[in-house]
Amino acid sequence: MKSALRLYDTMAGKKIPFRPTRPADVSMFVCGPTVQSEIHIGNARTYIFFDALARYLKHLGYGVTYLMNITDLDEQVSSAASKAGEDPIAYAERMIAVMKQDFGRLKLDTVSRFEPVSHHVEGAIRQTESLIDEGFAYQAGGWVYFDTSKFRRWGRLSHQSKRELSLRPLELSPRKRNLNDFALWRPEVLVEGRYKSPWGLGSPGWHIQDTAVTVPILGAQYDIHGGAYELVYPHHEAEIAQAECLTGKRPFVRHWVHTNLLKQGGEKMSKSLGNVLTVREALKSFSADELRFVFLSKNYRSEFGFTGTDSARRRLARMRAMADGVGGDGDESALEGFEAALNDDFDSPTAIDWADRMLRAAAREGSREKARSMAGAAVRGMRILGVDLNGSS
């Protein structure tokens, strides 16, 4: 199966043709949330984009396996659970249920499988043991570190040399051999009495958690790894190093796709900064379609602030009125312009412009049959993006 789709690949630093490992199937992994609290609209921007991408891949005829991890084993989760007076596992399970409800409200329904990382601790231990056995990792007290000096391609995803990366040291500690070495196992008991290992009680490091999820499920190589741009270094660099050293196969991922930041008050929206607008709060003022429309009206690689949303909402309302006015349930063919936009690195703003032009042309069209056909194409295109022009939600 061939496709004209081109995606900007972070590793290549340019748009490249989309070529999955298997002709008719796509395997995709996106880094999911840390569930110390509710997801916010900065998270939602990333998840809406990848949901829309998965929908488009299905439209192109691909079978899509979309895997997402959930970070439920983390200091922030344990701290939030302690403040709530709950066991960390029980707290995380409750927050995962809240997260899935929010996903449903945003119509994020393309994820094939959610995997809490706490379900993969044994896998992380086995992978860490293998990395030690192969000489890519070393023990230091109760810690285990990945030795980045043993991985020649360290820094390729972020396009930085090892010298440049030495100025961005990870996890400062006198136990480490190199400034950029990162922890695979930490002697920090985040859940009391749990997670025994050959190195004592503790928990797997953040980076190995993801590799423990993806390699057993998607295999040594898969097609798309997605996430926010801030995860490129060190998280995704670490995933590459771990996986390629574990399996001996490269590239670990064929296409690295990253969304840019959503800003609030001039700073990135993040739980650590406390400047978040949760999805639940946003859905009190916006419908799911409106939020999706706002985010997809911006290029996924652009940085933007969550402002000026009124004009996007008015535009969606106008497009809905035009679709209703000419009967947008007609012939849904003729999506060439829409597909051309999305094939160019998923240019959703241009795809939305195309749908808007189709509706305007339909409103001027003298032939009722042609008008219904044109409006129907616009409705179908927007539906592929997960936005319903025939609805009011």
Q: Which two tokens stand for residue 210?
A: 């993801």
Backbone Cα Rg of the chain: 23
Q: What is the pLDDT of residue 391?
A: 73
Q: Where are the domains of the chain?
A: 22-264, 308-385
Q: What is the pLDDT of residue 305?
A: 84
Are 341 and 350 spatial neighbours (Cβ–Cβ below 8 Å)? Answer: yes
The domain 308-385 having CATH identifier 1.20.120.640: the answer here is yes
The domain 22-264 having CATH identifier 3.30.2130.10: the answer here is no
Are 287 and 320 spatial neighbours (Cβ–Cβ below 8 Å)? Answer: no
Q: Express the helix, strand and coil content of the chain in percent, nearest 5 each.
A: 45, 15, 40
> Per-residue pLDDT for the chain (393 aa), expressed as one digit of tens each?
557 999 999 999 999 999 999 989 999 999 999 999 999 999 999 999 999 999 999 999 999 999 999 999 999 999 999 999 999 999 999 999 999 999 999 999 999 999 999 999 999 999 999 999 999 999 999 999 999 999 999 999 999 988 888 888 888 899 999 999 999 999 988 988 789 999 999 999 999 999 999 999 999 999 999 999 999 999 999 999 999 999 999 999 999 999 998 877 666 766 666 678 999 999 999 999 999 999 999 999 999 888 778 999 999 999 999 998 766 555 556 799 999 999 999 999 999 999 999 999 999 998 988 999 999 999 999 999 999 998 765
User: Is residue 47 classed as helix, strand or coil in its secondary structure?
Assistant: helix
Helix axis angle, 368-384 relative to 336-343, nearest 10°?
Answer: 20
Q: Is the dihedral of CA 93, 253, 195, 184 positive or negative?
A: negative
Q: Which two tokens stand for residue 341?
A: 């936009």
Q: What is the pLDDT of residue 275?
A: 74
